[in-house]
Amino acid sequence: MQKFDPLADLDPAAYAPFRDPRDYILSWTDQIWIEKGLGRLGEHYADDIKVHTAYGETYDFEHVLTNSVQKMSAFPNGGGGSGEDVVWEQRGPMGFISSHRVLKTGTNLGHWTYGPPTGRNWISRTIAHCVVQDGKVVEEWLVRDEYAVLQSLGIDPEQVAADMVRASPVTGETLAITDDTPAFAGSYPEPAKEGISGKRPDRFQPECDTIVAMYNEVWNRKRFDRVSAYCDSKVVCHTVRMHRAQGIDGYQQQIIDLLAAFPDGRIEVRDLVVCQSDELGMRIAAIWTLHGTYSGVPLYGPTTGKPVKIMGAAHFEMKDGKILREWRLFDEIAVMAQIIGARPAAA
């Protein structure tokens, strides 16, 4: 296994006053959410931060702050969740990319975007894929499992998705996802060399090639029989709605079930981050998009024959060059909103 010092070429000022980028992310999360130092967000985020979600784009710090106040009121015991992992990699002498996977829990004790308090507990995962430059987060790709939240709170996901057709929860405007939407715009033919977060360091090429090849062969070419070439026999995949699949058969079926709804679906890997440590081994984070036509099985209600765009994030743990664990997230509510918006009744 390739050995290297990930901090060797990174200026300590990029993550000061913390020990390393992992400590930077986890400590800031605790200070803001656990200790409720919400006003310190300005120390952590740039004023003109760009946040990309499956619902749209925002380009200012104030939006992050106001949304955070509302969520802290709705879930006063929720905190920032439990940081499961931080997969990070250098981007220049004063920058790094951090892919932070969080397991979130809380009790809905206050009013929120979706209505009055339900008094119910919820659990879900989030992956925040952030570019940190000169000590501040300047750009973020945020992927939440919003369906799991609504399901836990007893709120109808389809109704929420229908409401989002009229107004995006991010921008407040009519939900409109196009090829020009920044989260989906452009193409990155060699994400192992350069992706949405910038140019990668020249290392871990074989590991990156493995992940890209898996998506191309298993997902895009529908060679589900090739899962065993990329995954350990004991592979475990954690995905949306807190579902879990184990073993080659379970891993295959998760992919088949999603693509059955979008039979022509194709995944494009748009960013890769590789992090190796003696304690946690080899981990790889990916941002991907899936473009497909909702023309297969009616997984999300009656099919439309219309295109759908999905923004997803994944974390992989590798063992002997194969995938041992994967955490795969995408926002099903954003998917459902696109589908509902394409139906004649919605128009």
In a domain, 178, yes or no: no
Instruction: Provide the pLDDT confidence category of residue 1 given band limits of 50, 70 and 90.
Output: very low
> Residue 149 sits in which domain range?
12-166
Q: In the listed set 166, 184, 214, which residue is the last one of a domain according to the structure?
A: 166
What mean pLDDT is predicted for residues 22-39?
88
- CB under 8 Å to 207, separation ≥6 — which residues? 274, 282, 284, 318, 321
In a domain, 4, yes or no: no
Q: Which pLDDT tens digit goes with each residue over 173-191?
A: 566 677 778 888 889 999 9
Q: For residue 318, give both structure tokens.
A: 């590798």
Report the percent of the chain where pLDDT is more than 90.
72
Does 206 lie in the same domain as 293?
yes
Alpha carbons 118 and 111: distance in angstroms, whole number:
9
Q: Residue type for 269, please? A: V
In a domain, 69, yes or no: yes
Task: Give 113-117 contacts, CB < 8 A, sequence gap 24+.
Answer: 113/70, 113/74, 113/169, 114/150, 114/153, 114/155, 114/160, 115/155, 117/74
Half-sphere exposure of 25 (CA within 13 A, CB side): 27
Query: How many domains in the chain?
Result: 2
What mean pLDDT is predicted for residues 311-328?
97
Q: What is the pLDDT of residue 173?
A: 59
Does 23 lie in the same domain as 90?
yes
Q: Which pLDDT tens digit goes with each residue over 206-225?
A: 999 999 999 999 999 999 99
Does 82 lie in the same domain as 131?
yes
Question: Cβ–Cβ contacts within 10 Å for residue 95, how many?
Answer: 21
Does 159 lie in the same domain as 16?
yes
Indicate if the pLDDT at residue 284 is higher than 90.
yes
Q: Which pLDDT tens digit goes with each residue over 51-68?
A: 999 887 777 778 788 888
Does 217 lie in the same domain as 161?
no
Residue that the structure tokens 């836990």 belong to: 152
What mean pLDDT is predicted for residues 262-266?
97
In a domain, 96, yes or no: yes
pTM, two decimals, is 0.93
Residue 73: name the closest of 111, 118, 20 by CA: 111
* DSSP helix/strand/coil, 113: coil
In a domain, 65, yes or no: yes
CATH no. for residue 30? 3.10.450.50
First-to-last alpha carbon distance for the chain, in angstroms, is 55
Does 236 lie in the same domain as 109?
no
Does 237 lie in the same domain as 103?
no
Does 201 lie in the same domain as 132?
no
